Amino acid sequence: MMSIENIINEAWEKRDHVNQDSDQNLKDTVNQIINDLDSGKVRVAEKINGEWVTHQHIKKAIMLSFRIHGMETLAGPYSSWRDKSNILKGKTAGWGDKEFEQAGFRMVPNSPVRKGSFIGKNVVLMPCFVNIGAYIDTGTMMDTFSRAGSCCQIGKNCHISAGSGVGGVLEPAQALPTIIEDNVFLGAMSEVVEGVIVGEGSVLSMGMYIGQSTKIVNRKTGEITYGNIPPYSVVVPGSLPDKNNASAPSLYCAVIIKQVDEKTRSKTSINDLLRE
């Protein structure tokens, strides 16, 4: 028998021909992967030997799932919705006390969570949105109007503050999704997107916007990097002048104002870390 990964990769090469009438074996394989994502049995990306690795066939299965499922309408008391049938009704549709007790997370009203996303124990979901393929580990809070995009990975004991977004990276299949490691504080109204990695224990101030093209400046060393916030960094918004034209507008950047050790991070309040 072909492995699950081989079945998905073979179908991906012929994806223009994948549809609702495709082979049942393919449909069953895709649906199995979505169910395994939903339960946390598999995940789109994980840290292996200290490096984040993308499992491409799982991302491919998510994208193929949109081809093998048709559109469906869901009628509610105040509105109706129309989406792909595999995710329209959501992760917790039909759940009762037993299912929530087994899952072990808290979910307040108006928190759409797509099937195929994993929510760990002791997670708190305020009114937020969690998309397919996302993985939210134990003890994390998704605060009011925060968003977890497709396939993003959010670690243990994080606080994704009100209005903040962790961007989805579904395509291309080989691209690393956006990663928020354990014990990260993401300030209100911030956005981390495009597969950026925020290292463990970091604190990002309110209103941070970080993508792959954002310059990340270490104020102490002057080093400029992209796409990766080192562990235990304290980061605030800043700007860089144009060295060749003093009258030109300065450009936005993210500034690492300090890096602390794990002990300092655990014993120091967020506000104190952000003060100079």
The per-residue DSSP string of 94-149 comes to T--HHHHHHH--EE-SS--B-TT-EE-TT-EE-S-EE-TT-EE-TT-EE-TT-EE-
Cα separation, 215 vs 225, in Å, equals: 6
Place of tokens 């009704």: 89
The per-residue DSSP string of 139-203 comes to T-EE-TT-EE-TT-EE-TT-EE-TT-EE----SSTTSPPPEE-TT-EE-TT-EE-TT-EE-TT-E
Cα separation, 236 vs 208, in Å, equals: 7
Determine which one of 168, 195, 199, 201 is catalytic. Answer: 168
Determine which one of 191, 194, 195, 199 is catalytic. Answer: 191
Catalytic-residue membership of 99: no
Q: Work out the number of other CB atoms within 10 angstroms of the CB of residue 113.
A: 25
Nearest of 232, 241, 238 to residue 259 by alpha carbon: 232
Catalytic-residue membership of 262: no
Catalytic-residue membership of 133: no
Determine which one of 38, 137, 143, 200 is catalytic. Answer: 143
Tell me the catalytic residues: 143, 168, 191
